[in-house]
Amino acid sequence: MTDPWATFGADLHIDPNGATGLRTGLMDALREAARTGRLAPGTRLPSSRSLAADLGIARNTVADAYAELVAEGWLTARQGSGTRVAQRAEPRRAAATTPRSRPPRTRPAYSLMPGSPDLSTFPRAEWLKAARRALTEAPNEAFGYGDPRGRVELRTVLADYLSRARGVYADPERIVICSGFVHGLRTMGKVLRQRRVREVAVESYGLDVHTRLLAEAGLRIPCLPLDELGCRTAELSGMPGAGALLMTPAHQFPTGVPLHPDRRSAAVDWARSTGGLILEDDYDGEFRYDRQPVDPTPREPGTSPVRYWKGQVGALQGLDPERVVYLGTASKSLAPGLRLGWMVLPESLVAEVAETKGYSDSCGALDQLTLAEFIRSGAYDRHVRARRLGYRRRRDELVAALAERAPRIGVTGLAAGLHVVLRLPPGVDEHAVIQAANWLGLAVQGVGAFRHPDARAEGWAGLVVGYGTPTDSAWAGTLEALLQALSAVVDA
C-alpha cells in the first residue's frame, strides 16, 4: 500500500488518491492547496522524482500532473528555477463580523497600569554579557533535567543577596526556584491542601489573580481589613479556620502602606501559636525611597497616613524563618518576561515543595545561570540602583505636578515601589475619572478593582497609578494625560 501523503517544507499534506485516478487526484490536491493558500505563491515544489518517491507512485504521473497545472496557470516551470506555485490573487476569506454597537478595540496611547517596570530599561548589554559567560562556564549536567529546587549557582547567590538586601534568612538549601510569583503561589496552594489547610486569609485589597489561584486549589479565602497601619493582623484570632495568611507586609498592594511593627509581631505570634504559615509577597522590596525611621507618636486626627508611619522595613521572614514562606521575583526589578522567581522556605517544607513543584512549568537552566552571573558580577545591584533613582524621580515629578495642578488629590502610601495611590476628593466618582482617562488614551485602574468581594467599601475612591510602566520618552505625555483626566472630573 502506498503512503497517502507527502510532507513539504511547510508541513503540507497532499493526498493524491481519488476516484478518477492518481494523476487527477494529485492535480486536484495541488489545486486545492494553492487555492486555499496552503501552498503560498512562489513556493517551490519538490522535483517530480522526489515527489513520486514520497508518494510511492510513478514519476511520469507526477510529471504529467505538473505539466497540466502549468498549462492551466496554477504552476510555473522555468529552467534552473524548478516548479513553483504561480502568483495568483489571494483567496477571498469571509470577513469577521462584529456587532455595530461595539467599536474596534484600540491600544491606549499611554499606560499607568500598575504591576510592570519600564521594560525599555532592561539591561540588554549586561544581560547578554552574563548569558555568554554563563553559557561558556555551564557544566554539561546543566543541560539535563536537574534539581527541581533549581540551579545551585542561583540559589547560592540569591541566599547572599536576599540576606544583605532584604534581611531574609536564606540558606541555599531552603530556596526553590520557580517561574514567577504565580507559579510559587500555585505550588504553595497545592502543598497547603495536601496539609489539610482549608482557609488562607488574605488582605482586603490585592490582586484577584492571587485569590483565584488559591480558590482553584480548593481553599477558602476570607479577608482581613486594612487601615493606615496595614493589615489588621490581630483579627486573625477570629478566624479559627485559617491555616495560612497571604500578605504584602513591606509595601501593601495596592494601598502602599507598610505593616506596622506591632502588627508584624502579631502575625508571627499567630503563626507560632496556631502552627500556621505566612506567605510573604515581597514584590517590589528593592525600591524604597523613604529612609525615615519609625515614628512611634500616635497619629493626630486628620493627619495623612503617610506622615504617621514611614518605616523602612526588611522582609517579615527574618522574624521567624520557620513560619514564613518568602516569595520574590525578578519581575519588577528586571522584567516579568524572564519568568524567574524564588521561594525561601521553612526547612520542614523544602522537600515537600520541591516534590510538588517537580519538573513542570519551571524556568530554564540557562536563564537561571544567567541571573546567577548577573547578580554575582554586581550588574544586578547597579541596575537596581539606577532604576531606584529613575523611579523616585518620576514619583517626585508626579507628586509635584499634582500639588501644582490638582491640589485636591491626596497621595497616600509609602514612598516606594512602582505605583502610588491617588485619593480622590469626596463625591468624585472613580469610574468617571477612569473613563475620562480612557477618552484621552490613558489606561489606569481604580482602587475598587482590587477590593476583595467580601471586603467592606472604605468610603473613598482612588486611582492606582503605575508610574513605573511608561518609557522615559512617554512619561511626560502620560503624566499630562493623567492631569487632564483629573482636571476634567475633579474640577468640573
Which CATH architecture fits 22-85?
Orthogonal Bundle (1.10)
Is the pTM above the cut of 0.95? no
Q: Does domain 110-115+383-490 have CATH number 1.25.40.10?
A: no
Mean pLDDT of 386-404: 96
Kindly give the pairing relationship between strand 242-247 and strand 277-281: parallel
Question: Could you say which DSSP state residue 45 is in?
Answer: P
Give the model's pLDDT for residue 18: 58
Q: How far apart are alpha carbons 17 and 327 in whole angstroms?
A: 59
The torsion angles phi and psi of 241, rounded to 5 degrees, stand at -85, -10
Tens-digit pLDDT profile for residues 115-163: 999 999 999 999 999 999 999 999 999 999 889 999 999 999 999 999 9
Is a pLDDT exceeding 90 seen at residue 468? yes
Mean pLDDT of 316-330: 96
Ordered by start, the domain boundaries in the chain are 22-85, 110-115+383-490, 123-379
> In sequence order, what are the residues at sequence separation of 6 or more whose Cβ sits closer than 8 angstroms to the Cβ of residue 412?
255, 256, 257, 304, 305, 306, 420, 421, 422, 423, 462
Fold match flag (22-85 vs 110-115+383-490): no
Tens-digit pLDDT profile for residues 53-91: 878 788 888 888 888 888 888 889 887 778 888 886 454
Residue 90 three-state SS: coil
Q: 347-351 contacts: CB < 8 A, separation 24 or more?
A: 347/174, 347/322, 348/322, 349/191, 349/325, 350/149, 350/173, 350/174, 350/176
Query: Best-predicted range by mean pLDDT among 5-19, 40-54, 56-70, 373-387?
Result: 373-387
What are the residues facing 281 on neighbouring strands? 327
Query: Best-predicted range by mean pLDDT among 21-25, 227-231, 304-308, 342-346?
Result: 342-346
Phi-psi region of 439 (alpha: psi -120 to 50; beta: other; left: phi over 0): alpha
Tens-digit pLDDT profile for residues 355-382: 999 866 568 999 999 999 999 999 999 9
> In sequence order, what are the residues at sequence separation of 6 or more whose Cβ sits closer than 8 angstroms to the Cβ of residue 381?
375
CATH number for the domain running over 123-379: 3.40.640.10
Cell 482636571 identifies what position?
Answer: 487
